Amino acid sequence: MNLLVSISRNIYPLDKRSIDKARARWNDLIHPPQSLGRLEDITCMMAGVYGSDEIEDRPKKCIIAFAGDHGVHAEGVSPYPQDITRLQFENFVNGKCGVASLAKCNNIDMVAVDIGMKGRESIVGVLNYKIREGTDNMAQGPAMSMDDAVKAIEIGIEVAERCIVDGYKIIGIGEIGVSNTTPSTAILSVMSGRDPIDIVDFGAGLPSQELKHKADVIRKAIEINNPNPTDGIEVLAKVGGFEIGGMVGVILGCAANRIPVVIDGFISYAAALIANRINPKSLDYLIPSHLSGQKGARLALDILKMNPILDMNMCLGEGSGAALAMPIIDSAIYAYNNMARFSQEPIGDFLRSYEADQGK
């Protein structure tokens, strides 16, 4: 808990002076004012994160992906066996899964972390921070202890800080865990006060006739555990998952170290909701990558007051949205650094003369 408390206390608001300087710089770049829209907003936000209007081109980037299994799988909330978590996580480090392929295409490094998968055998290339082999069944009691919830978050902080020491300037988050849309939907239900049936979705291929059962399991878990929606750690412990806790830790750790975090889809929204309860200032450090195709996605983003960069009708997870958004962030930075300036080009003299003639 000491690490979590220390990190949370060291999260400060974005540097407004740097944001204003970045906006002034954009206003001097040769283009109609604000015509590059979100690209301008992204770089101004990043200036506030870094505390400087000087942003390096193509900063070193990685996606930290956490893997964890879930006891609630026993309730029949997923059509797939839990073995899929481990089998697919091997593909995070060999470049064969969706996020790994997108990351490799865009020169983004993958950092894979076993935080709670079933199975004791290590996977080559995967960091072993296993808390234990999956959470408990949240439909019968808490998913984990409060101590394990804090431990999951602190693992995320530790891995984030390792990456920051290694020179990463933009960090994305991702995950894998069969059944993890169930705890994510539970977290959103608790935080929003909405009944699970209003926001539950298929996840990874659940038949439509099973949706009511999935919603019933989530509702039962919430009723049994009665998590306090204002206490992010309690919500994580009672109806969350280890990989969700790991992503919470990355968000908090990066915010305390003034590093932007590119969040992914629905599961990462649940992590952001918990991070917001722990320290609301942490949300200022997040760049939402895409609008997840999951049913509750828009509600979660509305609570977080976030507008994602992309809408690609994706719901893969893994960090795939973060991998797609990072090249757009690179493009925004490159334009910011390399466009000509009105103050340094003949067109600027012409426009100033023209506006003077027009009495502006």
Of 40, 158, 243, 318, which is the active-site residue? 318
Rounded CA gap, 326 and 304, in Å? 20
354 vs 282 pLDDT, higher one: 282
pLDDT above 70: percentage of residues in the chain: 96
Asked about 133 being catalytic, the answer comes back as no
Q: How much is the pLDDT for 2?
A: 87
Residue range 110-127, pLDDT digits in tens = 999 999 999 999 999 999
Residue range 203-249, pLDDT digits in tens = 767 777 788 999 999 999 999 999 999 999 999 999 999 999 999 99
The contacts of residue 252 (CB under 8 Å, 6+ apart) are 4, 7, 8, 11, 153, 156, 157, 275, 278, 279, 282
pTM above 0.85, yes or no: yes
Helices 16-28 and 320-338 pack at an angle, to 10 degrees, of 60
* CA proximity to 174, closest of 326, 9, 333: 326
User: Using 50, 70 and 90 to split pLDDT, how confident is the model at 359?
Assistant: low
Residue 66: both structure tokens together: 């956490």
Q: How much is the pLDDT for 41?
A: 98
Q: How much is the pLDDT for 360?
A: 56
Residue range 44-85, pLDDT digits in tens = 999 999 999 999 999 999 999 999 999 999 999 998 999 999
Residue range 153-186, pLDDT digits in tens = 999 999 999 999 999 999 999 999 999 999 999 9
The contacts of residue 152 (CB under 8 Å, 6+ apart) are 115, 116, 131, 144, 236, 242, 244, 245, 246, 248, 249
Domains in the chain: ranges and CATH = 61-334 (3.40.50.10210)
Residue 193: both structure tokens together: 């006060």
